[in-house]
Homo-oligomer: A and B are copies of this chain.
Amino acid sequence: MSTPESRADAGAIYRRYLSAVMLHGHASAKACDLGATDLYALNLLELEGPMTPGVLGARAGLTTGPTTRMIDRLEEAGYVRRTPSPDDRRKVIVEPIGRPVRLDEVMTPAREEVGKILRGYSPEQLDVLFDYFTRAAEAYRQAVDDLHATP
B16 touches A40 (CB 8 A): no
B24 touches A127 (CB 8 A): no
A147 touches B117 (CB 8 A): no
B21 touches A22 (CB 8 A): yes
B151 touches A2 (CB 8 A): no
Number of A residues with CB within 8 Å of any CB on chain B: 65
Q: Chain A: residues with CB nearer than 8 A to chain B? A: 1-2, 6-7, 10, 13-28, 30-31, 35-36, 39-40, 43-44, 46-47, 61, 106, 109-110, 113-114, 117-118, 121, 123, 125-144, 146-148, 151
Q: What 6 A-B pairs are tightest by C-beta distance, nearest first?
A: A36-B36, A110-B143, A20-B140, A2-B127, A113-B139, A20-B137
Pull 17 A–B residue pairs with CB atoms less than 8 Å apart, ordered by A: A1-B134, A2-B123, A2-B126, A2-B131, A7-B126, A13-B134, A13-B137, A16-B137, A20-B141, A21-B22, A22-B22, A26-B40, A35-B36, A109-B143, A110-B139, A113-B142, A125-B128
